Amino acid sequence: MNVTIRKAKPEDFFAVLELNKEFSVFQKTPEKVSITLEQMKSDANLFQCFIAENDACDIVGFASFFFAYYSWTGKALYLDDLYVKEAYRKHKVGSDLLNTIIGHAKKENCTKMRWQVSRWNNNAIEFYKKMGAEIEETEINCDLKL
């Protein structure tokens, strides 16, 4: 199964949005998705994403991210979402996406990467551990809707 990883372009945003909605169903929180295609396009200077594309040029996975600065460690890459369609899991697509993000973070001189994983998602937790991530349980997320 051949998959190419590349930076997303605005013409890819519709497919990424559809995968994002699919991901929200997988996460059991579809009601939390409020982003629109128009918003993604207007925020194209901020929205950063790598996509996984199969031989038929279908987008089968994505990894969205942004840069952050942590007062304890400095510049970092925050992996917002990483999702691969079910049919493409167990074929190293997730590893390819994550390795691409890791390489990008290193190229941009980041000191670390950070992301979240749902406590119930044991497959993802094991995947991230195999990739070398430390799973900490000391912090709780805070969201303030604006």
User: Tens digit of pLDDT for each residue in 6-60?
Assistant: 999 999 999 999 999 999 999 999 999 999 999 999 999 999 999 999 999 999 9
Identify whether 69 is a catalytic site residue.
Answer: no
pTM above 0.75, yes or no: yes
Report residue 112's pLDDT band, with 50, 70 and 90 as the boundaries. very high
pLDDT at 129 over 70: yes
pLDDT of amino acid 141: 75
Phi, psi (degrees; rounded to nearest 5) at 26: -55, -40
Residue type for position 113:
M
3-state secondary structure of 37: helix
Cα torsion 85, 91, 93, 96 to 10°: value is: 170
The catalytically annotated residue of 70, 78, 83, 128 is 128
pLDDT at 144 over 70: no
